[in-house]
């Protein structure tokens, strides 16, 4: 009973989490540009969601099906919004084409497996794609464009999905989210080494590099 309640809660929490990037879209609208943000942060999750969605259909996992179907719709909107506010769209187009090709190749590879191993193969592909998508690189020497609230929310979400994977005995969900949790912690640690330029990091109370700035993210 408690496990069923937790599953429902996690589904609702995950769907609610899907709305968080809307704050980024509003920021782009306010600034009139999406410069400083990477479309990879939206395209890669759609790749991962596609993998988990197919795995959900293959295993008749209604939680996975509902969550990832909704996620794909919203992230398609976020990608469209990014394209609207980003005049240089060639990299975005390249990323979308590459993602579609990756999905096609991955699904074709999974289909080569027999009935006894095809579900595990799809789960492995989904977990691997999720771990790959969580890799972040900081090249600008600042975390200005990594919203702290979003990262703290990711920490909460991943921690619960890790627990979900353990309780349900789903090794693919557990492993991918364990790796994701480590990456998220590493990302949060970056605030100490590369503080934002104009805003104070909440909870950690890390001041901006520009000491005159008072904005709190």
Question: Residue 139 has what pLDDT?
Answer: 47
- Segments making up each domain of the chain, as ranges: 1-140, 141-216
Residues in the chain with pLDDT values less than 50: 136-140
Reduced to 3 states (helix: H, G, I; strand: E, B; else coil), residue 215 is strand
Question: Residue 137 has what pLDDT?
Answer: 39
Closest by CA position to 148, among listed 15, 9, 20, 35: 20
Distance CA 194, CA 140 (A): 9
Question: Residue 15 has what pLDDT?
Answer: 82
CB half-sphere exposure, 129, CA atoms < 13 A: 24
């Amino acid at each position: 009973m408690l496990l069923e309640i937790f599953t429902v809660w996690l589904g609702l929490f995950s769907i609610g989490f899907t709305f968080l990037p809307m704050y980024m879209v509003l920021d782009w609208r306010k600034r009139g540009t999406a410069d400083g943000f990477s479309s990879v942060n939206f395209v890669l999750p759609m790749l991962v969601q596609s993998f988990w969605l197919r795995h959900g259909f293959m295993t008749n996992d209604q939680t996975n099906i509902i969550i990832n179907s909704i996620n794909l719709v919203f992230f398609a909107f976020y990608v469209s919004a990014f394209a609207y506010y980003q005049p240089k769209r060639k990299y975005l187009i390249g990323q979308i084409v590459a993602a579609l090709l990756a999905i096609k190749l991955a699904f074709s590879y999974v289909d080569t497996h027999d009935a006894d191993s095809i579900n595990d193969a799809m789960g492995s592909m989904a977990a691997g794609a999720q771990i790959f998508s969580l890799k972040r690189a900081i090249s600008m020497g600042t975390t200005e464009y990594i919203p702290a609230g979003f990262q703290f929310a990711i920490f909460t979400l991943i921690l619960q999905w890790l627990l979900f994977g353990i309780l349900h005995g789903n090794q693919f969900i557990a492993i991918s989210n364990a790796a994701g949790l480590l990456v998220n912690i590493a990302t949060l640690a970056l605030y100490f080494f590369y503080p934002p330029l104009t805003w104070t990091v909440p909870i950690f109370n890390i001041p901006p590099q520009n000491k005159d700035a008072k904005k709190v993210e």
